[in-house]
Amino acid sequence: MATDCPASDAVQSLESTSSEVQSLRVAIETDVDPTSSLFMEWERLAGQRLFLAPRWLLTWWKHYRQPGSQLLIVTIRDNNGWLIGLTPWFRRRSWWGGDEIQMLGSGEVCSDYLSVLVKPGEQDHVVRAIAEFLPRQFASVDRFFFEGLDASDTVMHDLAGVMRQQDYEVKQLPQLDSYRLALPATWDEWVSQLSRSRRHRVRQLWRNQFDTGKATIHIADEATLDQGFSILVDLHQKRRNQMGQPGCFASKRFHSFLQEAAREHLASGQLRLQWIELEGRPIAVEMDLEEGDTLMHYCSGIAIDCDYARPGWLGLTAAIRHAIESGKTTFDFLRGDEGYKSHWRGQPVPMMNLEFIPPTFSAKVRSQVRGSVRLAKQQAKRLLRRSAKSEQTEGHSSDEG
């Protein structure tokens, strides 16, 4: 592999750094303007994968960027200049973690199915180009940590395999499963698949609440988005606080991120923010994201003083009915181990985190420290689970029963 600058100079010249790898052009971008050609190329490469698109990830970067951290978009182009691969990463440094590269969208936002973007048919070339590029340009990095990955992601598994051949230690770390519900062609067919008791209750709820007009469904548009988002924050926080949890919106960063992301995805036609009113009062709210033939259930809330009306059931079944009747084939509950997901016939999708540790003394020492901390946390969690359920995953969380 020929390179335009030595690895030791990569950090100082990131914006102009590029390399030729097996006739491919590999470059680093540290700034992506929404009006730039790269933004549009990135959108095309991401396709319908919302959590990998710049609209989601650069909004995350705007709100979660820490002092001293750096956007790190590695682009891979063929010899005609077409973008065939892209890494949505950032670089950060902490006193105990050292120099790390991670995925945009990580942390409390819980972006699922993160990965490296690759044009179909170019996976082997892109993976090898990245694997050859990383050790040369990022020799000082102590850790590559990628979370929220589909455990069947062949791109990330292939990258892990090539990095392992270069003496990197590769760790596949546990992550909570995601849950997906395969949708039939009709609402009646889906209801008939439920258990007898649940089927009866769903039909009764719809007859008594929606069919009588007592309960009404409201969908946010440009004029009512702020109203719907306020309902989401209010009902979510009250429900979480009642359960002894801080709630997603206790984080000011999360609040501001999701509010802007909601506006962005409403404009792109990928947001469905729904709230249910019972006799004029909001009792359930769902923020779902449209991804091709999939509706993703991201965040929700219910009123804490009307269990008799089953607000969680009303909200969730209304969202599922919309998904079916709009031609969706999948309802994705996303990551988290809440029991209601399997009760509604969601099937687990194994998820994982990946960690690459370079073969340097500093990286290995820091890895050993992280391993000890991780083990202590796991033991503490096991003790807590003996007396209480594991806390709801922050980010995309739900209140359905």
Q: Tokens in use for 394?
A: 């922050």
73 bridge partner residues: 29, 88
* CB-based contact 21:1 (threshold 8 Å): yes
Q: How confident is the model at residue 12 (pLDDT cuts 50, 70, 90)?
A: very low
Mean pLDDT of 192-206: 95
pLDDT for the residue 18: 44
* Mean pLDDT, the chain, whole residue set: 89
Asked if residues 243 and 401 have their Cβ atoms less than 8 Å apart, the reply is no
d(CA 265, CA 394): 20
Q: What angle do CA 17, 18, 21 make, to 5 degrees?
A: 150
Given a cut of 70, is residue 274 above it in pLDDT? yes
Task: Say yes or no to pLDDT of 10 above 50.
Answer: no
Angstrom distances, CA of residue 98 to CA of 27, 265, 356: 24, 35, 14
> Given a cut of 50, is residue 17 above it in pLDDT?
no
Q: Is a pLDDT exceeding 80 seen at residue 97?
A: no
Taking residues 10-15, report their average pLDDT.
Answer: 31
What proportion of the chain, given as a percentage, has pLDDT over 70?
A: 88
As a whole number of angstroms, the distance between CA 397 and CA 68 comes to 31
Nearest to 288 by CA among 275, 279, 277, 304: 275
This prediction's pTM: 0.88
Of the candidates 328, 292, 310, which has an alpha carbon nearest to the alpha carbon of residue 320?
328
pLDDT at 8: 29
Mean predicted confidence (pLDDT) in 237-260 = 97
Average pLDDT over residues 299-321: 95
Distance CA 32, CA 36 (A): 7
Q: Residues 35-41: what's their mean pLDDT?
A: 97
- pLDDT for 30 equals 96
pLDDT score, position 158? 98
Q: What is the pLDDT of residues 122-178, one digit of tens each?
A: 999 999 999 999 999 999 999 999 999 999 999 999 999 999 999 999 999 999 999
**The two structure tokens encoding residue 359:** 């073969």
Residue 400: the pLDDT is 59
Mean pLDDT of 48-56: 97
If we measure between CA atoms, which residue out of 163, 175, 174 comes closest to residue 357? 163
Name 121's Cβ contacts closer than 8 Å, sequence gap at least 6.
none
Given a cut of 80, is residue 401 above it in pLDDT?
no
Q: State percent of the chain over pLDDT 90.
A: 81
pLDDT band at 275 (very low <50, low <70, confident <90, very high): very high
pLDDT, residue 7, reads: 32
**Residue 174 CB coordination number (10 Å):** 11
Collapsing DSSP to helix, strand or coil, 222 comes out as coil
3-state secondary structure of 297: strand
pLDDT band at 361 (very low <50, low <70, confident <90, very high): confident
10 Å CB burial of residue 272 (0-12, 13-18, 19+) is buried
- Tell me what the mean pLDDT of segment 246-261 comes to: 98
Give residue 95's pLDDT: 72
Say how many Å lie between the first and final Cα of the chain, rounded: 55
pLDDT band of residue 387 (cuts 50, 70, 90) is low
Q: Which of 107, 146, 52 is nearest to 254 (CA)?
A: 107
Rounded to the nearest 10 degrees, how much is the dihedral formed by the CA atoms of 345, 198, 300, 338? Answer: -50
Structure tokens at 302: 């219910």
Burial of 220 (0-12, 13-18, 19+ CB in 10 A): buried
